[in-house]
């Protein structure tokens, strides 16, 4: 049976369309026509007086058609990622060491983008009151040090500071770590209920600007520029909503780079507008101390070192066994558009 010229043209067109789709899949991971987000609303927890990169991404229009649904503020990173595991929120973020512990406990999760880190302008630091008898690491023996969560990033940094100063394990155990919400730590220091506190990024800079406190050490001085907290989804959520996760990571990565490439005054104004517009009874002045993106990798790309540092620390302290957890078990950059850009160069 002869084929008409019209039928031949239709077959060629279908073949061309299919070939283009396959080529799109090869070059970009997912064909454009298959990238429609499966889930258009993402439940999450916020942080008081802070604008998260996904919140900024939504305000910039990068996240559309996905919308964020705020369900309240988290009290800590470990609580936030646990809420993601239990399904109370769709994504959560925490200190990478906490994510290591979660994966070691066989939680089916995957970190997909870094969102907090240290650089020259944005970093966390250990403070004492001006005039305090505490001048170095050894003076902290027997003292109360405020951190946001026991066993999380801030305690890790203080412990690393003590170890680098040559304190023994027994001496470090005499340092008393006290947990309190980040926004309350500075006040507890001023009231002399704590001898020292570790504060992160803009909260640290606000305390410095207010005066009355002395900075002992920063995480940047200890380790240089790096990422130390990541957002994660459960494996099940990723399997069921891959395009939603891809869109979330893409939008968040673009928001991170927007802050890097925009004038500081424009970024601060945008952050302040977001905090004021959400009416959560927050301290809007804190965003005035924003200085830089504060994320290690471009677009929030995760490095294996972002996790091996804490894996090694936990193995050293007997929390994990050697080889129990590997970085590849914990994170993936597959959804981050900057991963392809870096690989291309």
- Whole-number Å distance between alpha carbons of 104 and 9: 57
Tell me the per-residue pLDDT of 148-193, one tens digit each, with 9 for 90 and over: 877 778 898 999 999 999 999 999 999 999 998 877 888 899 999 9
What is the pLDDT confidence band of residue 258, given thresholds at 50, 70 and 90? Answer: very high
> Is pLDDT above 80 for 256?
yes
| pLDDT at res. 5 | 44
Please answer whether residues 338 and 251 qualify as being in contact, where contact means their C-beta atoms are separated by less than 8 angstroms: no
Tell me the per-residue pLDDT of 48-74, one tens digit each, with 9 for 90 and over: 889 999 999 999 999 999 999 999 999
First to last CA, the chain: 52
| pLDDT at res. 317 | 83
- Arithmetic mean of pLDDT, 236-250: 98
Q: Which of the pair, 4 or 144, is modelled with greater confidence?
A: 144
- Whole-number Å distance between alpha carbons of 81 and 74: 10
Per-residue 3-state assignment (H helix, E strand, C coil) for 306-334: HHHHHHHHHHHCCCCCCCCCCHHHHECCC
The answer to whether domain 40-119+225-344 and domain 125-223 are alike in fold is yes
Among 8-12, 199-203, 222-226, the range with the most confident prediction by mean pLDDT is: 222-226
Q: Which CATH architecture has domain 125-223?
A: 3-Layer(aba) Sandwich (3.40)
Least confident of 3-12, 73-82, 257-266: 3-12
> Is pLDDT above 70 for 16?
no
The residue ranges of every structural domain in the chain are: 1-34, 40-119+225-344, 125-223
CA within 13 Å, CB half, 225: 12
| pLDDT at res. 342 | 52
- Residue 68's SS3 state is strand
Return mean pLDDT, the chain.
87
- Whole-number Å distance between alpha carbons of 223 and 203: 20
> Is pLDDT above 80 for 12?
no
| pLDDT at res. 91 | 98
- Arithmetic mean of pLDDT, 325-338: 96
Q: Which of the pair, 17 or 172, is modelled with greater confidence?
A: 172
Domain 40-119+225-344 has CATH 2.60.40.10: no
Q: Which of the pair, 309 or 60, is modelled with greater confidence?
A: 60
Q: Which of the pair, 283 or 58, is modelled with greater confidence?
A: 58
- Arithmetic mean of pLDDT, 75-89: 93
Please answer whether residues 139 and 169 qualify as being in contact, where contact means their C-beta atoms are separated by less than 8 angstroms: no
């Amino acid at each position: 049976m002869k084929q008409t010229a019209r039928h031949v043209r239709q077959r060629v067109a279908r073949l061309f369309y299919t070939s283009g789709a396959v080529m799109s899949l090869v070059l970009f991971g997912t064909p454009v026509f298959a990238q429609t987000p499966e889930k258009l609303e993402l439940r999450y927890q916020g942080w008081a007086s802070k604008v998260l990169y996904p919140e900024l991404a939504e305000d910039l229009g990068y996240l559309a058609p996905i919308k964020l649904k705020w369900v309240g503020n988290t009290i800590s990173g470990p609580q936030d990622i646990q809420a993601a595991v239990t399904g109370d929120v769709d994504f959560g973020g925490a200190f990478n060491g906490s994510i290591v512990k979660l994966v070691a406990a066989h939680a089916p999760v995957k970190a997909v983008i870094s969102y907090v880190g240290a650089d020259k302008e944005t970093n966390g630091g250990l403070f004492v009151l001006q005039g305090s008898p505490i001048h170095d690491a050894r003076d902290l023996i027997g003292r109360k040090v405020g951190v946001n969560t026991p066993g999380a990033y801030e305690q890790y940094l203080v412990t690393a500071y003590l170890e680098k100063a040559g304190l023994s394990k027994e001496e470090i155990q005499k340092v008393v770590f006290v947990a309190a919400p980040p926004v309350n730590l500075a006040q507890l220091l001023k009231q002399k209920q704590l001898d020292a506190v570790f504060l992160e990024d803009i909260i640290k800079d606000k305390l410095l600007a207010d005066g009355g406190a002395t900075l002992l050490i920063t995480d940047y001085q200890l380790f240089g520029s790096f990422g130390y907290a990541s957002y994660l989804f459960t494996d099940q959520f990723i399997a069921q909503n891959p395009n939603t996760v891809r869109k979330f990571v893409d939008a968040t990565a673009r928001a991170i780079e927007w802050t890097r490439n925009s004038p500081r005054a424009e970024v601060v104004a945008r952050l302040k507008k977001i905090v004021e517009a959400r009416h959560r009874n927050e301290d809007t002045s804190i965003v005035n101390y924003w200085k830089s993106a504060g994320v290690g990798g471009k677009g929030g790309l995760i490095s294996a070192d972002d996790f091996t540092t804490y894996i090694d620390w936990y193995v050293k302290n007997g929390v994990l066994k050697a080889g129990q957890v590997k970085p590849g078990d914990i994170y993936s950059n597959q959804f981050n558009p900057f991963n392809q850009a870096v690989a291309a160069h």
